[in-house]
Structure 1
Amino acid sequence: ATRDGVDILLLSVGPNEPPEDTSTFLGAFDIFMLSAWRAGVFVAQAVGNNGPSPYSVVSYSPWTFGVASCRTDRKYPATLFLGDGRKVRGIGLSGSSWGDGMIQHKLVLANDAAFPNATRNMEECQSPEAFDPAVVGGSVVICTFSAGFRSGTSNLRAVIQTAEALQFAGFVLVASPAYGDYVAQPIPFPVPGILIPRTTDAQVISDYYEEHTTTRRDGEGGIEFHGRAMIGDGRIASYEEEAPIVSRFSSRGPDFMDRNKTPVDILKPDILAPGEQIWAAWSPMSATEKILHGHNFALISGTSMAAPHIAGIGATMKQKYPSWTPSMIASALSTTASKHDNRGQPIMAQGSDPFTTHPAAPFGYGAGLVDPLRALDPGLIFSSGYEDYIGFLCSLPNTAAEEIRTATGGSCESASLTAASDLNLPSVTVTALSGNRTTRRVVMNVADKPETYVAGVNPPEGVEVGIDPAWFTVAPGETQTLEIKLTATRPRDDFSFGEIVLTGNLNHIVRAPLSV
């Protein structure tokens, strides 16, 4: 790739776990990426889909740019219209039920339409043979997200096949009170369908169904279905959601240096970008996702969808600034990122349970949500060279100089860093602050005019932060060294977060996360 003149590498694949016999930074994969950096190649790497657990990132090294995933403000809402006029919101990417959403159909619970001898996942609608075609044909059928879906033995594709085979007017996949809410993603259905992932909404449907369904007592038995429903078109996007929100699956920091998850003074992820429900090209063979067979495009979620956004923005920056190194591009992306959502509030993150959120932190979003326009005019940048990265490796505890030499060809004899936290990154991370520690950062003016900056701090809880000088003027192409003194004022068992803000008189604002 470097011989071909490549400027940007996108890594949507990578190791699923740290190497067994060496540091995370000295594994073959990360050494290859260090070589790419040395050749001037900016590397955007997906941080992994093992969230929301801490210490789950698989992008480790400071010479790669780790990308986390968030959802956007776009949503594909679907609606189930009940016969009494109530509307139940859900998720679906299909057309409306027959009649273009103007005609209501008989509403049938799958269990009530099954043959007496049917036993296989009746409520989950997994087998056409289980149901009476005379009852379910032309009906909106209620299927349940139950034990089989939780265990992986049932799937949505089988629901669709059942609906197609028996000519349902549509299907409704409701959450089960016994198993709670479930996570639903919009998938293009070939038949009308809607997912109802919340138990509270499922209860509304259940109550209506029970009110409008009776069992005959004339000696012949049987059920009379008086409930009616229709499924609205779910293919029309809306753009009103709170965003960004860090995706549940997006891997979280802190960064670590070995299989024992020993934390290291590096911020990971580096940046946040859209990675949830992203339209992407898709192989119609669809070997791994049978439900998408035959589709050329699909809505895909993952940090592998977020990383391409950063690769594209990085390419735009390289085009504008051909002489910029990878660390300069990374710095500009980081220092101009936003920590607030589209409503002006701090970014939130999805929790372990469906539909739960909590305030996000740098170990979820890095420096924040990427801002492509601001990144093209960052004002100041933090830059690191190849020898700085060798010095970083040499500063790591329990890492032999000979092992570093073997992996990189570099020597620790001239290494200048005494701690990993001294690497000139657009962030400061200290994993074990005791007493006080002083670190330094060097910024360079990449604008075309001299600018005066004032240094401000939002300190992490339990930490006092001082910056010297408190203000400075720097000419284009010139640098300024900042001395940052961190003092622990109260012991803590976990990280706390803040930021350094450098505000210029020409409207440049440079932000650097603090994680202590």
Structure 2
Amino acid sequence: MITSSPLLPCRIAVYKAIYPTIGTLTDVVSAIDQAVRDGVDILTLSVGPDEPPEDTITFLDVFEIFLLFARRAGVLVVQAAGNKGPGPKTVVSFSPWAVGVAACSTDRSYPATLILGNGQRIGGVGLSGPTFGNGVIQYKLVLAKDAAKVINGEFPKAAPYTEECQYPEAFDPIVVLGSVVICTFSDGFYNGTSTLTAIIDTARTLGFIGFVLVANPIYGDFVAEPIPFPVPGIMIPRMADSQVISRYYEQQTRRNERGCIEHYGGRAAIAEGRVASFKQRAPIVSRFSSRGPNIIDEHRNPADVLKPDILAPGQQVWAAWSPMSVLDPILKGNSFALLSGTSMAAPHVAGIAALIKQSNPSWTASMIASAMSTTATKYDNYGESIRAEDYDLVTLTPSTAFDIGAGLVNPSRAIDPGLVFSPGEGEYVAFLCSLPNVDPGTVEATTGGSCNHPLSHPSDLNLPSVTVTALAGSQVLHRTVKNVQSVSETYLCSVLPPAGVKVEVSPTWFTVDPNGEQIVEIKLSVTRVIDDFSFGEIVLTGSLNHIVRVPLSFLPVS
């Protein structure tokens, strides 16, 4: 929760509602209610529902209604979009009165390298120091399952414990002492019972010079994040790289006719992995970041509200960490950790919102949200359209509004957006009343509002985006823009139409006075029925160099 003042630095108020053992909806909404009572300006929530609510529409869930009450009190609600990507309909930030934030990478990485005895260099992940000699001195390379201890013809620990390096007693200590040991990502890591902490404990106990955690052909590539290892270590999450290591190891290892090792000929070293590099393409939408379209019910029917709203850095973010580290012993004693998730992305947007509020103290929460949306960028540091990670961690696909919302948040432009879109008093309730199959009495009882004047269509809510989930024939929508400058400006309207839809904006140009408003009519006509959503945008280009972008997401149906 953040509060700001035009005369004072931003102040942060923290409300603890989630504990290591339990987190209840009651505690969370109580914290939200208390923050609103305390007068915060911005509420950042790195929490949300695991699944859509049962037996009600998503927007009428208790959690969402408390967020509506916060917005009604003038609080900007910023919420993590969820970490269930990259599949569609996985967002857990549903409501138009909350800013749902997706996560992306930055251009910073921490490259780690495994150097094989033949000179091959294999890139991997691991925020650790090098083996002694910083890669120049090579050490014996041992596959964990080849170093298993045998007592009376039996193994004290069976696979996957041996190959995953989870227990020191599973190994012949003479074989692994002073060696670089290859551990394998197997069943234990896949189901969550094995840990990196256990590998480190094994390495320390038995005197590994370093360890390598490689991908398993059975499970394919795995997700690896840089973690500060207290011993030299590296993770090789891609199968292609793992196979290179495996081939080298087998070529250098001599076995007898029974398959037992007679000579370990492979050598390896781990290079320094703690030095940052700033050469990556960025931003790239993170694989885990939840995707749209937004959903309206437990059956995951799409909703006429764009989600996520915006994109922000959320992958490998340095963040404060409790040294107690109850849930992750590997980070115990550290005050910072390198973390990933939309929970890391949401605070970026909350901080930017605080800066905007400080520069424009009279702006409402909706105006701030609009300013960030309409000034966001769709392009990366290569000048190309932002791309998104897919399931296989290798393929990058062109992003859509269901990956990035309006785009990557741009703080410097958001402070001076030119125009803003801001729903009027009671418009969120009117939106709820316009939803299909909704009971007006339920809306009124839940929100305390009135359904006397519902919107003609849910898409008529005055948002800085337009989403229609079943566009048939023609439909006319309206948006009202407000000039937040102290001077008049003339805007020219242009359209990048989505496939299958003709978009006409009227008026095609207009001049709006300081603090003045302009109604814009948007006529949509289906020209071709297609099987999936198509995307475009309306661009309002101002005579004083303001550019206002409005994302379009339509599903044209017959």
Amino acid at match of 1:85: G
Whether the 8 Å CA contact 2:146–2:261 is kept in 1: the answer is no
Structure 1 residues 464-503: aligned runs within 5 Å? 464-503=502-541
| Other-structure match for 2:67 | 33
| Other-structure match for 2:424 | 385
- For residues 206-233 of structure 1, the C-alpha deviation after alignment (integer angstroms, 9 at most, x for no partner) is 222222222368x997521222211011
Whether the 8 Å CA contact 1:120–1:126 is kept in 2: the answer is no
Report how far residue 150 of structure 1 moved.
Answer: 2.1
| Other-structure match for 1:429 | 467
Pick closer, same or farther for the CA change 1:22–1:179 going to 2, 3 Å.
closer
Amino acid at match of 1:396: L
- For residues 428-481 of structure 1, the C-alpha deviation after alignment (integer angstroms, 9 at most, x for no partner) is 111111111010111111122211111110000010110111111112111111
2:202 and 2:535 map into 1 onto residues whose CA distance is 51
Whether the 8 Å CA contact 1:120–1:127 is kept in 2: the answer is no
| Other-structure match for 1:234 | 273
| Other-structure match for 1:334 | 373
2:247 and 2:335 map into 1 onto residues whose CA distance is 40
Which one of the candidate residues 77, 96, 99 is aligned to 1:62?
A: 96
| Other-structure match for 2:252 | 212
Whether the 8 Å CA contact 2:433–2:454 is kept in 1: the answer is no
Report how far residue 86 of structure 1 moved.
Answer: 1.6
Report how far residue 151 of structure 1 moved.
Answer: 2.9
Amino acid at match of 2:527: T
| Other-structure match for 1:201 | 241
Question: Aligned pair 1:48/2:77, yes or no?
Answer: no
1:148 and 1:8 map into 2 onto residues whose CA distance is 41
Q: Unaligned stretches of 5+ in structure 2?
A: 1-34
Report how far residue 294 of structure 1 moved.
Answer: 2.5
Question: Aligned pair 1:21/2:60, yes or no?
Answer: no
- For residues 223-260 of structure 1, the C-alpha deviation after alignment (integer angstroms, 9 at most, x for no partner) is 21222211011111111111111111111111222212
| Other-structure match for 1:136 | 176
Whether the 8 Å CA contact 2:493–2:539 is kept in 1: the answer is yes
Amino acid at match of 2:546: H
2:109 and 2:259 map into 1 onto residues whose CA distance is 47
1:386 and 1:290 map into 2 onto residues whose CA distance is 49
Report how far residue 130 of structure 1 moved.
Answer: 1.5
Which one of the candidate residues 393, 402, 422 is aligned to 1:354?
A: 393
1:58 and 1:229 map into 2 onto residues whose CA distance is 45
Which one of the candidate residues 317, 330, 333 is aligned to 1:294?
A: 333
Which one of the candidate residues 449, 471, 475 is aligned to 1:410?
A: 449
Amino acid at match of 1:215: R
State the secondary structure of the residue aligned to 2:37: coil
Report how far residue 376 of structure 1 moved.
Answer: 0.5
| Other-structure match for 1:447 | 485
Which one of the candidate residues 3, 6, 9 is aligned to 2:43?
A: 9
2:38 and 2:51 map into 1 onto residues whose CA distance is 30
Pick closer, same or farther for the CA change 1:2–1:130 going to 2, 3 Å.
closer
1:39 and 1:250 map into 2 onto residues whose CA distance is 29
| Other-structure match for 1:274 | 313
- For residues 364-398 of structure 1, the C-alpha deviation after alignment (integer angstroms, 9 at most, x for no partner) is 11100000000011011111123111111111111
| Other-structure match for 2:164 | 124
1:374 and 1:510 map into 2 onto residues whose CA distance is 10
- For residues 144-193 of structure 1, the C-alpha deviation after alignment (integer angstroms, 9 at most, x for no partner) is 11233223332222211111110100001111233322111111111100
Question: Aligned pair 1:76/2:110, yes or no?
Answer: yes
State the secondary structure of the residue aligned to 1:242: coil
| Other-structure match for 2:343 | 304
Amino acid at match of 1:177: P
Whether the 8 Å CA contact 2:49–2:92 is kept in 1: the answer is yes
2:75 and 2:287 map into 1 onto residues whose CA distance is 30
Report how far residue 56 of structure 1 moved.
Answer: 1.6
1:232 and 1:68 map into 2 onto residues whose CA distance is 33
Q: Unaligned stretches of 5+ in structure 1?
A: none
1:341 and 1:12 map into 2 onto residues whose CA distance is 25
Pick closer, same or farther for the CA change 1:220–1:8 going to 2, 3 Å.
closer
| Other-structure match for 1:164 | 204
Whether the 8 Å CA contact 1:82–1:230 is kept in 2: the answer is yes
Whether the 8 Å CA contact 1:439–1:484 is kept in 2: the answer is yes
2:268 and 2:545 map into 1 onto residues whose CA distance is 56
2:259 and 2:471 map into 1 onto residues whose CA distance is 78
State the secondary structure of the residue aligned to 1:308: helix
2:219 and 2:96 map into 1 onto residues whose CA distance is 42
| Other-structure match for 1:323 | 362
Pick closer, same or farther for the CA change 1:478–1:179 going to 2, 3 Å.
same
| Other-structure match for 2:30 | none
Whether the 8 Å CA contact 2:418–2:483 is kept in 1: the answer is yes
Whether the 8 Å CA contact 1:69–1:276 is kept in 2: the answer is yes
State the secondary structure of the residue aligned to 2:234: strand
| Other-structure match for 2:25 | none
| Other-structure match for 2:131 | 97
1:301 and 1:220 map into 2 onto residues whose CA distance is 42
Q: Over aligned residue pairs, what C-alpha RMSD do you find?
A: 1.7
State the secondary structure of the residue aligned to 1:374: helix
State the secondary structure of the residue aligned to 1:181: coil
Whether the 8 Å CA contact 1:216–1:224 is kept in 2: the answer is no
State the secondary structure of the residue aligned to 1:430: strand
Amino acid at match of 1:323: S
Amino acid at match of 2:180: V
Amino acid at match of 1:16: D
Pick closer, same or farther for the CA change 1:220–1:332 going to 2, 3 Å.
closer
2:303 and 2:487 map into 1 onto residues whose CA distance is 37
| Other-structure match for 1:394 | 433
Q: TM-score, normalised by structure 1?
A: 0.96
- For residues 57-88 of structure 1, the C-alpha deviation after alignment (integer angstroms, 9 at most, x for no partner) is 11111111111111111111101111222211
Amino acid at match of 1:130: A
State the secondary structure of the residue aligned to 1:10: strand
Report how far residue 401 of structure 1 moved.
Answer: 1.4
Whether the 8 Å CA contact 2:127–2:228 is kept in 1: the answer is yes
2:63 and 2:182 map into 1 onto residues whose CA distance is 49
State the secondary structure of the residue aligned to 1:25: helix
State the secondary structure of the residue aligned to 1:431: strand
2:51 and 2:145 map into 1 onto residues whose CA distance is 44
1:412 and 1:64 map into 2 onto residues whose CA distance is 21
